[in-house]
Amino acid sequence: METRPASLLPEQFGPLQGVRIVSSGTLVAQPFAAALAAEMGAEVIQIERTGEGDAAWRHLGMQLPTTDGQEQVATTWIQERRNEWYVTLDFSKPEGRDVFLKLVKSCDIWMESSKPGSYTKWGLTDEAVLQANPKLVIAHVSGYGQTGHQDYLGRASYDMIGQAFGGLMYQTGFPDPAPPVRANPWTADYITALFCLWSSLAGYISAQRTGTGQVVDISQFEAIHRLLSGTMVEYFSNGFVRERTGNKATAFQPYDAFQASDGWVVVGAVGLAVFSRVCRVLGLDPEEEKWQRASVDINGLEGIEFDALLRGWIAERTVEEVVEQLNAAQVACCPIMNSKDMAEDPHYEARHVHVEWEDNQVGRVKGTGVSPSFSATPGKLWRGSVPVGHDNEQIYTHFAGLSREEVARLTEKGVI
C-alpha cells in the first residue's frame, strides 16, 4: 500500500488538521475557500501560473511595497492568502499534467475555478484524476456550472455578473429610478467560496465514510440565488416580483438607516414588543391605536408620522447617544462602521478580531484574524503570503516524489 506523505506544516492545529487540499483557482471565488480551510488547520497547496502567478489578484487595488523594494503586493492578497504553500505549474503541458496527477494522489480535496472543459482539454478529466486518487473530492467552481444550457457554459463570470444573474443585484439598492447596486466587496465571490468550502468538506466526510470520492459542481449564480429567501416561492406561487426597497423593511418599522448629528446608525425593531420600547424612548404611548397601526402600516399617515418623529429624535443626537439610549431600552441599534470605527471599537478589541502577523513579502502587518473561534481546536496563523513559486522544490519533492534535479529541469522548461 502506498504511504501518504507526512504533513509539512510546522505543527498540527485546528479542526481541519489532517485534511490536505490542492487549490488551482484564481482570484477569489475558489481560492478564498482554500484559504479559510488553511486558517483552520488544513494543509493547502495553492497552484499558480508559472512565471506570473495569479497576477491580477496579487496586484489588484491598494498595494504595499515588499521589504526588498522590488515589488508591491495587494492588501487583499496579504489578508487572504495566508497559511498556504505556493507552487507554480503549467497544466497545458503533458509533463505538467503528470506532475499534478502525482501531487493529487496525496491530497483529499482538489478545488479549482475555470470555464467547463478547461482541464479536460489538458487531459485532466474527472475520470483521470479520480483514477489517480479514487478517494479524492473534486470541487469545480464556475460562473454558470459544469452542465446546463450550452449558450451559458462558456461565458465568463466575475463577482458582479454572479450578483446580477443570480438575482441579488436586482434587489439591492433603492427603488427606480435609482440603478441596481452590487454588494461590496466582491460579495458573490466570497459567498461562492463559502459554498465551495462547506460542500467540499461535506464530500470529504462522505469519502472518509465510504472510501469513494466524488465531483462537486459549484456555480456562482446558484450560490447567490440560494440566498434569496422566499423570492422564487413568491414568484412561482403568485407571480410576485420582489423590487428594490432600499434599507427599509417593507412590513414593519423601524428597520432602516438613520442619520444622527455626527454619523449614521441602523435601528431594528422586530415585533410589537420592541416597537413599544421605541415608542417609550420617543415619549409616545405604545398602547395608542395609531402607533400600533404605524408599526406595520409604514406607508400610511401614522406610519409616515412615526418615521418622521424617530428621524427627528435621532438627528438631534450623536451616534453614541442614540446607540446608548436605544440599546439601554433593549432596541437593536448600532453605528454604521467604517475601517477607523472598527479598528478603534472596544468590542472588536476585546474579541481580538484584529491581529498582527509576519508577512513573508511586506513584513509586519495588521488585519483581520481567524474566525470563528473554536474552544478545543482553534485556528491560527503560522505564515503570511509568499512570492510566486516560493515552495516549488519543497512541495514537489515531498508530495509529488520528484527529485531536485527533476524540479530544476521542469523549471527550466517552464513546466513548473
Catalytic site positions: 189
Burial class (CB in 10 A: 0-12, 13-18, 19+), 380: middle
Cβ atoms of 176 and 245 within 8 Å: the answer is: no
Measured from the Cβ of residue 4, the count of other Cβ atoms closer than 10 Å reads 12
- Which residue's entry shows cell 474527472? 126
